[in-house]
Amino acid sequence: MSRPDAIPASAVRSEANTVKPFNRRHFPLDGWEMTLVVLLVLVLVGFSWAAPGFYDGMPDLLSMAENFLPFGFVALGLSLVIFTGGIDLSVSTTASLTAVVVAQLWHGFGMNIWVAAGIGLLLGALLGAINVLVIIRLKIEPLIATLATSFIYGSIATAVAGNAPPSGFPDAFNALGGGALGILPYQLLLFVPLCLGFWLLVARSAYGRKLVMVGYNREVALYSGIRVERILVVAYVLSGVMAAVAGLVLAAYYSAARPDMGDPLLLATLTMVVLGGVSIFGGEGTMLGVILAVFILGFLRQGMMIAGFSDMVTTMVTGAILITSIAVKNLFNKRGTGLGNQLWALLRRPEATGSEPE
């Protein structure tokens, strides 16, 4: 259960002496991630066997990823925020607003679609920056702050979209959502390097260490001389940018921009991040886990749809997975409050103390 990859080295050393860093470097999977790998294999094999149409050759399986990778982009950015112990509820409307603004720049102002897309990414960064400024400067809880900005961004998106939101983008742009290079969808070609980047950022950079420390114990981080606010700014801005990327990819996929386009993003991405092993209280988790969870939940949803389950059931299952993963994390929480760990300790105590009476 321990995630030495992400928990600050000092914390790891103090709580578990058995961790051998060298072993970890050669074989960087911990218990949770191994579980996720097994789950992913189960999902893929299970549906290929049980749901006719799920596995129809590698190209089809890869192109199925187009249906859920927009969630993946958001999950990458959102996990940074959750690492800090915060939350970004505005990812959905950030994606919608970006899509609508880019579409209007292209349609209404005759701007080149790629230039407009670039502006869209900047807009995502700006919206993320507004979130974090509200959180830091106005000292408002991230939950409330991003809920409020989420309403604001959503309303602006509706206003900008107008009565007839633009659609029918150039084919070159649409390819970003539905095109492929050989058998590799462009979405996947964009997702893989971003995964690598985020993994390096969290697991292998000084920023990543500080990020996790801020989430694990903000006070300690502050007194250790970490510029907590700077860490937060980067996390929220990147979350905004990744939501914007998702907005662009969605717009390309549907060849249309709608002010409610990003709505389904929040529940699914939050579930991906939490299932990936990132603690909702911050300070724990790995990027690799999140990436695995993106594919597990994505293929699970596609598989269930192909097996004939209704949208209602898949949404319900997503909610159930969200609760289960948080519950399991809480049960085995390392911070002394985990019920599972307490039980485990209770079970082991007689063994340890068994010789004492004698």
Partner 1 sequence: MKFKKNAITLAACLGVAAVTATGALAADQKVDTSKRIKVAMVPKLIGLSVFKANEQGAKKEAKKLNIDFLYTGPVTASAQGQVDVFNSLIARKFDVITTTANNPTELAPALRRAMKKGIKVVSYDSDVAPDARDFFIQNTSYPAFGKALVDSVAKYTGPDAKIAILSSTKDATIQNAWIDALKAYMKTAYPKMEIVTTQYGESSPSKSLTAGLNIIQAHPDVTGIIAPDGAAEVGAAAAVQKLGKTGKIFVTGASDPDSIRQYVKAGIIKASPLWDEVKEGQLVMYVARLAHNNALKPNDHFEAPGLGSFEVKNKVIVFSKPLVFTAENIGKYHF
Chain residues that interact with partner 1, rule: CB under 8 A: 52-54, 56, 60, 64, 67, 162-165, 167-168, 174, 177-178, 253-256, 258, 260-261, 263-264, 301-302, 305-306, 308, 310-312, 315
Please identify, using beta-carbon distances, which residue of 201 and 305 lies nearer to partner 1: 305
Please identify, using beta-carbon distances, which residue of 96 and 333 lies nearer to partner 1: 96
Alpha-carbon gap, residue 326 to 280, rounded angstroms:
7
Q: Are 124 and 100 in contact (CB under 8 A)?
A: no
- Minimum gap (Å) between residue 11 Cβ and partner 1: 41
- Minimum gap (Å) between residue 46 Cβ and partner 1: 16
- One-letter identity of residue 129: A
- Minimum gap (Å) between residue 149 Cβ and partner 1: 22
Please identify, using beta-carbon distances, which residue of 84 and 92 lies nearer to partner 1: 92
Please identify, using beta-carbon distances, which residue of 5 and 66 lies nearer to partner 1: 66
Q: Which of 82, 85, 116 is nearest to 101 (CA)?
A: 116
Q: Which of 270, 265, 283 is nearest to 322 (CA)?
A: 270
Alpha-carbon gap, residue 163 to 283, rounded angstroms:
44
Please identify, using beta-carbon distances, which residue of 257 and 296 lies nearer to partner 1: 257
Please identify, using beta-carbon distances, which residue of 226 and 270 lies nearer to partner 1: 270
- Minimum gap (Å) between residue 305 Cβ and partner 1: 4
- Minimum gap (Å) between residue 310 Cβ and partner 1: 6
Q: Are 72 and 325 in contact (CB under 8 A)?
A: no
Q: Which of 202, 253, 174, 206 is nearest to 77 (CA)?
A: 202
- One-letter identity of residue 8: P
- Minimum gap (Å) between residue 256 Cβ and partner 1: 4
Alpha-carbon gap, residue 31 to 224, rounded angstroms:
30
Residue 194, token pair as written in the block: 């971003």
Residue 304: CB partners within 8 Å, gap ≥ 6?
313, 314, 317
Alpha-carbon gap, residue 123 to 113, rounded angstroms:
15
- Minimum gap (Å) between residue 307 Cβ and partner 1: 8
Please identify, using beta-carbon distances, which residue of 51 and 129 lies nearer to partner 1: 51
Q: Are 201 and 207 in contact (CB under 8 A)?
A: yes
Q: Are 47 and 55 in contact (CB under 8 A)?
A: yes
